[in-house]
Structure 1
């Protein structure tokens, strides 16, 4: 495959990723703006659209998928996510504990 074909393929991937991310963002905003569902369902829809958009960003912009060569990158992202969630969760536990003690 020559460089020109590689460039076109990569550019096409970025365009598909951009269009998908834009469509998912617009769908989330439309769901909230036009009150298409009850509040609980709307939160679920927006959360699901966010997870799908996370996958789109991983696949099209960060080039991370489930192939053998990208598993190290995926493990690094998952570990970083775990550490971040532990830090945020611990902070929230401490803050809520302090809040309840002040009441």
Structure 2
């Protein structure tokens, strides 16, 4: 059973950018790169800072606090100070809307 949640319009996220999305007391980060969308947990695994305040460079999000970096495609931690991967979620665009599968 799929549980797709409507997050926003694709145009609400600039290319190579990230947006915070809160749902059911959980924070997510939704990214856009080359008109593809990705979704991860919204807090850095190192210091629990909101990744939506970070910088997206191609497929990498850089945490604003200590410059930890994650691959937005698979959540992989890319080196110190982060060592715990981010959880990722399926994301897609349908009819110009960004949808994320949360369950």
TM-score relative to the length of structure 1: 0.23
Task: Answer with 1 or 2: which has the greater Rg.
Answer: 1
Higher relative strand content: 2
Higher relative helix content: 1
TM-score relative to the length of structure 2: 0.23
